[in-house]
Chain A
Amino acid sequence: MSALLNVSQLNWRTSHTCILQDISLTITKGEVIGIIGPNGAGKTSLLRCLINQNNILTKSGLSGSVHLKNKNIINYSTKELAQHFALVMQKPDPIFALSVQDVLKMGLLPHKSIFSLESDHDRGKINNALSKVGLLHMLNNNFATLSGGEQQRVLIARALVQSPQILILDEPTNHLDAFYQHQLLHLISKLNITVIMTVHDLNLASSYCQRLLLLNKGKLISDGTPEQVLTETQLHNAFGLPCQQKVNEITGSTQVSFYLPETQHANNTSTVNTHHE
């Protein structure tokens, strides 16, 4: 396994705060990675640095480097980056009545030269991607009128059309109900490409990611398997709430549940307290 993405000593300071502090990590091909942490921990900022969005790495206040396939990422052109990374953003902002098909066609852009026309192969790619997210029947629907979850799945299909090596998702399960949260993350984890996503729901992250990165206040607190990262002490420190960790007997994945100390059940007070010590 070779290193696909190498982050070394990434620091991002603004005049007021420290957004990222001394982050170093290596990502190998095929990993499905979840970035977790409380609000404002720097999850999205880290994502933006990994793909050098808007040449962010050349900004002042930012130091450290990101290497993609052993080449500094700032030396890639925007088009080359688009051939490696596909981004599924949180809030698409459509104007005009774009059809689902129009949105998916955008995914062809990084691999097209300026004069090339659409081929049958391209149309096959679009249909294939759309059926993977279960929306083939919506090919001609107006994108703006779809529900949040459907829009999210269309954007993932667009990312698949882009055929990237690394799929980047910012909170992909927002707006989705339980069924689609699981369906979507299952789909993402079975794509056989490298996936890096920020996830709010720790249990979903645990179920579908092989590796978790726990961020807090811009620091990488923990990096490892869900079992290693989702410990009661580490989560308590990061989120400021006590929690209970156990293993889901059906799936075998580590699951956590937070609680407010004052809502503890009277009978359980002693057991939980000893558990914490």
Chain B
Amino acid sequence: MNKVILLVTLFFLMLISGFIALSFGPANITSAQLMSCFIDTCHNKVIDVVVWQVRTPRILVAMAAGMGLAIAGAILQNTTRNPLADPYLFGIVSGAGLGATIANITLADNLTVALPLAAFLGALFSVVIVLFIAKLLQRMEQLLLAGVAVSFMLASITQFILYFGEPYATNRVIFWMMGSLSRVEMSNFYVISSILLIALFTILILHRQIDALLLGDESAASLGVNVDKLRLLMLGICAALTATIVAYCGGIGFVGLMIPHIVRQIVGVTTLKLILGSALIGAIFLIWVDVIARSALANAEIPIGIITSALGSIFFLFIMYRTRIAT
């Protein structure tokens, strides 16, 4: 029961975080002004635009992206039975990178639609290759190694294109790959959150099946789980979630690795608790990282992916250090 209270607390913490995050940014908005925007109307035209058209979409996308990346990581870890699995080690991001690069080089204009679309296609392309290789090797457990190999292959193609490409386009791609929420719009939130809802719904329906995998494939199969189909479906969901998020926000690494690890310690390891906990903590985490990204430096933004990668790599070493002590 106390886990339910914990999850409800996290939910309110997420709402409060989102609200507080509205007051951070280059324009100074006091909490009183913010309150009046919510209760009544914003009295100032500038504040109205900043609150509703700049910060709200950004915070909502941060929330949805944090949820999506954390859920994708959690599901990937449970279904591949590898606690270090991360959608980013799975070739998805380098696939998206390749797609974005090709779009940037070949279509200089109309990038608002073409870039996310190309990134999404690139991500799906890489997932198909990874799955094909894993199928070829007959070992689904080696999915991750296949992912790393594909990741390097696609990254090298991307770098080759960028090296010979137009400098301006190269610049754009590199900034995109660092990850940023500065250009997101409300429509992005609708797309990400609808995929998120489908993913959550599917996972919640199948949570007992996914749990059965935690004692191994043989155990799951003896409980009536169609292991290969379930794994394929879950990988598809991870790929769709990550690809959509990466397409709009660029590379935001390590969220899928860090958040589920923390959730297992404080909420639980079984799928239902893990997924709800990851969604909430993932959302809170990315809301605050984005606050840091836009307010840490006086007159510049730090790409959000730089912060998550920095935090993530330290966290990664910390886990390794702790397991070293434990064994």
Contact = CB atoms under 8 A, between A and B. Distances in A.
Interface of A: 51, 53-54, 77-83, 85-87, 89, 92-98, 102-103, 105-110, 112, 114-115, 162
Contacts of B214: 94-96, 98, 102
Interface in B82-133: 82-83
Given A82-B223, A110-B223, 8 more contacts: A53-B218, A92-B216, A95-B81, A98-B270, A102-B214, A105-B211, A106-B208, A108-B208
Nearest to A112: B208
B269 A98 contact: yes
Contact of B218 (A83, A89, A108, A115): A89
B215 A78 contact: no
B264 A93 contact: no
Contacts of A105: 208, 211, 270
B270 A102 contact: yes
A78 B81 contact: no
B209 to A, nearest CB: 7
B326 to A, nearest CB: 11
B222 A109 contact: no
B269 A109 contact: no
A109 B219 CA distance: 12
Interface string B218-255: 11011111100000000000000000000000000000
Nearest to A88: B222
B215 A94 contact: yes
Nearest to B218: A89
A83 B224 CA distance: 8
B212 interface: yes
Nearest to B274: A96
A109 B208 contact: yes
B27 interface: no
Contact of A98 (B83, B215, B223): B215
Contact of A53 (B209, B216, B221): B221
25 contacts: A51-B222, A53-B218, A53-B222, A54-B221, A77-B224, A78-B221, A78-B226, A82-B223, A87-B219, A89-B219, A92-B216, A92-B219, A93-B215, A94-B215, A95-B81, A96-B83, A96-B269, A98-B214, A98-B269, A102-B214, A105-B211, A106-B223, A109-B208, A112-B208, A115-B205
Contacts of A95: 81-83, 214
Interface residues of B, number: 24
Residue of A93, A107, A112, A162 with highest tally of chain B CB at under 10 A: A93
B206 interface: yes
Contacts of A85: 222
Interface of B: 78, 81-83, 205-206, 208-209, 211-212, 214-216, 218-219, 221-226, 264, 269-270
A81 B224 contact: yes
Contacts of B206: 114
Contacts of A106: 208, 211-212, 215, 219, 223
A103 B215 CA distance: 8
Q: Is the interface of B mostly helix, strand, loop or mixed?
A: helix
Q: Taking each of B209, B211, B214, which has the highest tally of chain A beta carbons within 10 Å of its own beta carbon?
A: B214
Contacts of B218: 53, 87, 89
The 9 closest A-B CB pairs, nearest first, are A82-B224, A87-B222, A79-B224, A96-B269, A93-B216, A110-B224, A109-B223, A78-B224, A114-B205
A97 to B, nearest CB: 6
Contacts of A53: 218, 221-222
A109 B215 contact: no
A12 to B, nearest CB: 19
Nearest to B270: A102
Nearest to B205: A114
Contacts of A98: 214-215, 269-270
Nearest to A110: B224
Contacts of B212: 106, 109
A79 B212 CA distance: 13
A119 to B, nearest CB: 14
Nearest to A54: B221
Contacts of B209: 109
A110 B219 CA distance: 12
A95 B210 CA distance: 13
B318 to A, nearest CB: 18
Contacts of A110: 223-224
Contacts of A89: 216, 218-219, 222
Nearest to B81: A95
A87 B209 CA distance: 16
Contacts of A97: 264, 269
A102 to B, nearest CB: 5
Contacts of B82: 95
A93 B217 CA distance: 9
Nearest to B222: A87
Nearest to A83: B224
A110 B226 CA distance: 12
**B82, B83, B205, B218, most chain A CB atoms within 10 A:** B218
Contacts of B208: 105-106, 108-109, 112
Contacts of A83: 224
Contacts of B83: 95-96
A83 B211 CA distance: 18
A80 B226 CA distance: 12
A156 to B, nearest CB: 13
B297 to A, nearest CB: 39
Contacts of B216: 89, 92-94
